[in-house]
């Protein structure tokens, strides 16, 4: 693992304006470096800005102040270098597992042969190769989430952002997927940033733990 930061946040503040005109500060003056190849968990109470921070890194939100950098370049929009997994996998019910996983090819964001080859690799890795012709309604919640993870990995992003992806799962499935995710990270060269409000999950998964204060979110501790 390189000691050169892959992701850098420099004095980042994010404000939202409500319909009534009130300004809510979700994040305030956050500075954070994330090294290439690390597994970082963002831990903190509900409403502390964990998901907001993740969306800023993913280019899904515009910061109010500061800088958000990937490899030294400002992040201003979504990029193929970053994949994202949400709490709900949001699969298309009319598409099979494989068709959901290779959707990037249908959208013109990845070549068909490249997408199919990557799908074979990652479906095998997460134990879903035998289910590639099934539809989401035929899968358990844990299997659907694995499809969502595979879809995010197919275009081979440098960074995988995960926003409480196991929160809605039962305890046994959650434990199983935690182990699978850690195995996937150890087998490759991905940088993973994982949002959770579970202390046991954060400690089990991370080699780099960032604790945020209650709103407005600030970095309270950074433990490596």
Residue 140 to residue 26: CA distance in whole angstroms: 34
Same domain, 53 and 96: no
Same domain, 61 and 162: yes
User: What is the mean pLDDT of the segment spanning 166-175?
Assistant: 83
Domain end, chosen from 153, 177, 202, is at 153
User: What is the mean pLDDT of the segment spanning 79-91?
Assistant: 88
Domain end, chosen from 135, 153, 171, is at 153
Kindly indicate the confidence band of residue 108, based on its pLDDT and cuts at 50, 70 and 90: low
pLDDT in tens, 116-154: 888 998 898 888 999 999 999 999 988 998 899 889 888
Domain extent for 113: 92-153
- Looking at every residue in the chain, the average pLDDT score rounds to 89
Q: With 60 as the cut, is the pLDDT of residue 98 above it?
A: yes
Same domain, 162 and 73: yes
Give the predicted TM-score (pTM) of the model. 0.88
Q: What CATH number is attached to the domain comprising 187?
A: 3.40.50.300
The closest alpha carbon to 64, from 95, 32, 28, 96, belongs to 28
214 lies in some domain: yes
Same domain, 24 and 120: no
pLDDT in tens, 60-70: 999 999 999 99
Same domain, 76 and 169: yes
Same domain, 149 and 189: no
Query: What's the number of domains the chain is made of?
Result: 2
Same domain, 61 and 26: yes
97 lies in some domain: yes
Q: With 80 as the cut, is the pLDDT of residue 188 above it?
A: no
pLDDT in tens, 37-74: 999 999 998 889 999 999 999 999 999 999 999 999 99
15 lies in some domain: yes
126 lies in some domain: yes
217 lies in some domain: yes
Residue 58 to residue 158: CA distance in whole angstroms: 12
Rg, Å, the chain Cα set = 17
Domain end, chosen from 130, 153, 176, is at 153
Same domain, 68 and 178: yes
User: Can you read off the two tokens belonging to residue 59?
Assistant: 């280019």
Residue 80 to residue 176: CA distance in whole angstroms: 28
86 lies in some domain: no
Q: What's the pLDDT score for residue 94?
A: 96
Q: What's the pLDDT score for residue 3?
A: 62
Q: What's the pLDDT score for residue 95?
A: 95
Same domain, 180 and 217: yes
Residue 165 to residue 149: CA distance in whole angstroms: 9
User: Can you read off the two tokens belonging to residue 88?
Assistant: 């709900």
CA angle 175, 176, 182 (to 5 degrees): 90
């Amino acid at each position: 693992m390189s000691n050169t930061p892959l992701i850098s946040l420099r004095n980042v503040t994010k404000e939202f304006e409500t319909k009534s005109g009130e300004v809510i500060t979700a994040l305030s003056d956050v500075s954070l470096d994330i090294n290439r190849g690390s597994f970082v968990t963002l831990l903190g109470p509900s409403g502390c800005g964990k998901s907001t921070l993740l969306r800023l890194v993913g280019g899904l939100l515009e910061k109010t102040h500061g800088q958000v950098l990937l490899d030294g370049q400002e992040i201003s929009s979504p990029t193929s270098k970053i994949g994202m997994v949400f709490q709900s996998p949001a699969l298309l019910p009319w598409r099979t597992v494989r068709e959901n996983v290779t959707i990037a090819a249908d959208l013109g964001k990845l070549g068909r042969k490249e997408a199919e080859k990557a799908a074979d690799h990652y479906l095998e890795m997460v134990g879903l190769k035998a289910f590639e012709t099934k539809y989401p309604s035929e899968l358990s919640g844990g299997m659907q989430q694995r499809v969502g993870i595979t879809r995010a990995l197919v275009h081979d992003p440098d960074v995988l952002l995960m926003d409480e992806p196991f929160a809605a799962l039962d305890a046994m499935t959650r434990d199983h997927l935690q182990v699978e995710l850690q195995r996937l990270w150890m087998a490759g060269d991905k940088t993973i940033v994982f949002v959770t409000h579970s202390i046991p999950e954060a400690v089990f998964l991370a080699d780099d733990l960032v604790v945020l204060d209650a709103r407005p979110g600030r970095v309270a501790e950074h433990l490596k």
